[in-house]
């Protein structure tokens, strides 16, 4: 299906959408941090890419990428309406994620990215556990 708006109009509309964040996922990560005595994290830290959590003393940035917005196919979240738009949006987000990760690494930050599904499910994936152990 073709978008009914021009590229410029769609961009204008999307800019007005205020992201509410992955609030439930972030709250789940906070629970994990607290349960595992992980301290030193901050939210809303002024850093490129706007990481969900920052450990400034350790120079660690943590991103929790939403499965839909960042194109993870854990649940095959591909909309059928306006599919081309969403495909392009997800590809852009993936490219942007790589750029942000690269920029932070160049500035001597460690970057960790987790999928929303890794945090939300009661089963914690190995790399999340490893990260928590590292941050203790």
pLDDT in tens, 15-52: 666 555 557 888 888 888 888 888 899 999 999 999 99
Residue keyed to tokens 């392009």: 88
Residue 11 lies in a domain: no
Would you list the DSSP string of 68-89? TTTT-TTTT---STTHHHHHHH
Please state the domain count of the chain: 1
The whole-number pLDDT of residue 95 equals 95
Alpha helices in 7-50 (DSSP H): 7-15, 23-35
| 8 vs 126, residue with greater confidence | 8
0.85 exceeded by the pTM? Answer: no
CA-based radius of gyration for the chain: 16
Among residues 93, 23, 101, 24, the alpha carbon closest in space to that of 60 is found at 101
Within a domain: 8: no
Tokens representing residue 70 in the block:
């960042």
Burial of residue 54 (CB within 10 Å: 0-12, 13-18, 19+) is buried
The range of the structural domain enclosing residue 97 comes to: 22-135
Query: pLDDT digit string (tens) for 51-87?
Result: 999 999 999 999 988 888 888 878 776 777 778 888 8
- 1 inside domain: no
Q: Is residue 53 part of a domain?
A: yes
Helix (H, G, I), strand (E, B) or coil at 29: helix
Q: What is the pLDDT of residues 90-133, one digit of tens each?
A: 899 999 999 999 999 999 999 998 888 888 765 455 566 677 77
Classify residue 36: in a domain, yes or no. yes
């Amino acid at each position: 299906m073709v978008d009914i708006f021009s590229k410029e109009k769609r961009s204008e509309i999307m800019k007005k959408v205020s992201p509410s964040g992955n609030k439930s996922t972030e709250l789940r990560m906070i629970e994990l941090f607290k349960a595992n005595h992980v301290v030193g994290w901050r939210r809303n830290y002024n850093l490129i890419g706007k990481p969900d959590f920052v450990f400034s003393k350790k120079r660690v940035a943590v991103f929790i990428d939403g499965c839909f917005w960042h194109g993870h196919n854990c649940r095959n979240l591909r909309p059928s309406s306006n599919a081309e738009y969403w495909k392009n949006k997800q590809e852009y987000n993936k490219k942007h994620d790589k750029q942000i990760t690269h920029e932070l690494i160049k500035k001597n930050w460690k970057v960790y990215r987790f999928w929303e599904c890794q945090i939300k499910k009661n089963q914690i994936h190995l790399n999340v556990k490893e990260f928590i152990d590292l941050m203790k």
